[in-house]
Amino acid sequence: DMNLGLLFMLALSSMAVYAILWSGWASNSKYALIGALRAVAQTISYEVTLGIILLTIVLVSGGYSLKTVMLTQEHTPLFLASWPMMLMWYVSTLAETNRAPFDLTEGESELVSGFNVEYAAGPFALFFLAEYANIMMMNTLSCILFFSVGQTALATFTACLMTKVSILTMGFLWIRASYPRFRYDQLMHLLWKQFLPITLALCLWTTTMPISLFALPPQ
């Protein structure tokens, strides 16, 4: 349990951008490079909303450690208290991990297979192992932040966390089977015109509401 655990997890999820960009550039293929550039733009864009939502959770819980966030949800899980933020977080994690309907890096009709088009066998398998590991990491973080795992015994805690992560991962697969791929302009419009103003407004509301209530006279 680190003092700055939330910031560390956010930084860790951002590191995938470098691997995707370098792999697309090293392929010496224009399709791979375009796919890599799309992935970088998409991941960096959705990092903005993820960062603002994390900032809101830090303001609510009063600390950057994951243990503090779990203690905050001892009585009420945050997905009940701030469900719009939870929904935006979940959609942003879909875009962050390049999953459908945001898998524009692998648009078969225009990019063949995206940044991994020139790779085969071992490297190709490693790319997909890394992608699914990133999905599991983001879903674990989602469970800790919004779906109260609880301060129980280690065996119960592990089983509860694994169950919730599995349900969220099944949600990823269900969304992939249900929705078509977005256009690139729709992807960016969703973030910069819709998610960003709403998350900023919710962050300001979460900050100012307790301060304004402090000014009221005691009943």
Mind listing the pLDDT tens digit for each residue in 131-188? 889 899 999 999 999 988 776 677 788 889 999 999 999 999 999 888 888 888 888 8
pLDDT band at 196; cut points 50, 70, 90: very high
Rounded Cα gap, residues 122 and 115, in angstroms: 15
Number of neighbouring beta carbons within 10 Å of residue 206: 17
What pLDDT, on the 0 to 100 scale, is given for residue 206? Answer: 87
Comparing 33-37, 47-51, 165-169, which segment has the lowest mean pLDDT? 33-37
The residue written with tokens 């243990």 in the block is 67
Handedness of CA 158, 164, 167, 171 (dihedral sign): negative
What pLDDT, on the 0 to 100 scale, is given for residue 113? Answer: 67
What pLDDT, on the 0 to 100 scale, is given for residue 139? Answer: 93
What pLDDT, on the 0 to 100 scale, is given for residue 111? Answer: 63
> Terminal CA-to-CA distance of the chain, rounded, Å?
40
What pLDDT, on the 0 to 100 scale, is given for residue 170? Answer: 94
Residue 100 pLDDT exceeds 80: no
Q: Tell which residue, 112, 130, 86, 98, has the closest CA to residue 34.
A: 112
Share of the chain above pLDDT 70, in %: 94
